Structure 1
Amino acid sequence: MTDCGCEKARKDLEEYLRNEICATEHSEIRAHLENCQSCKDEALVATTLTEVIARACKESAPEELRAQVFARLREVQASAH
């Protein structure tokens, strides 16, 4: 297993985290992350951000807010006609 270096690891980090690269490149980036704290930290930030966004996308707006948004949309639609 070889270390691909910071430039390659950072360039392909998103694909690596989503398992969208070939096994050889995956192994090289994994080897790099094991030995480079800076790139490892960047991978942690990317992973954490992805998880937070995924959780936020699953949440629903409070019913009162939803009602206000739909009421405002109806007002805008009515005034456009």
Structure 2
Amino acid sequence: MTDCGCDKAKAELEEYLHRELSSQDVQDIEEHLAHCTDCSAEHLVGLTLTEKVRKACQETAPAHLRDAVLARLSTPA
């Protein structure tokens, strides 16, 4: 295992949440999170925010609202 302290775990948290790290870095951070309550709490906040944003991006406006907005955008000012 490479050295994974709080600085590294927090610096790479965003990449960890989006699965953008090497398998070794993932393993290092997971080990750190298992033993560090401060970083685990920060991970939970990041995970919650990521999930909320993901869900919000999947929502769609009702058809009548979408049509009204598009009509308004195509009308000259």
TM-score for both structures, normalised by structure 1? 0.78
Structure 1 unaligned segments of length 5 or more: list them: none
RMSD (Å) for aligned C-alpha atoms: 1.8
1:3 offset after TM fit, Å?
A: 5.6
The answer to whether the Cα contact below 8 Å between 1:4 and 1:28 also exists between their aligned partners in 2 is yes
CA apart distance, 1:68:
2.6
Q: In 2, Cα distance between the equivalents of 1:73 and 1:14?
A: 35
Greater C-alpha radius of gyration: 1
2: CA distance between counterparts of 1:70 and 1:63?
A: 11
Number of equivalences:
77
Instruction: Report the more deviating stretch, 51-60 or 64-73.
Output: 64-73
- The structural deviation recorded for 1:2 is 5.8
Q: How much has 1:64 moved relative to structure 2?
A: 3.2
What residue ranges of structure 2 are gaps of 5+ in the alignment? none
Specify the alignment match of 1:66 in structure 2.
Answer: 66
Describe how 1:15-30 pairs up with structure 2 within 5 A: 15-30=15-30
Identity of counterpart residues, as a percentage? Answer: 48
- Aligned ranges for residues 28-39 of structure 1 at < 5 Å? 28-39=28-39
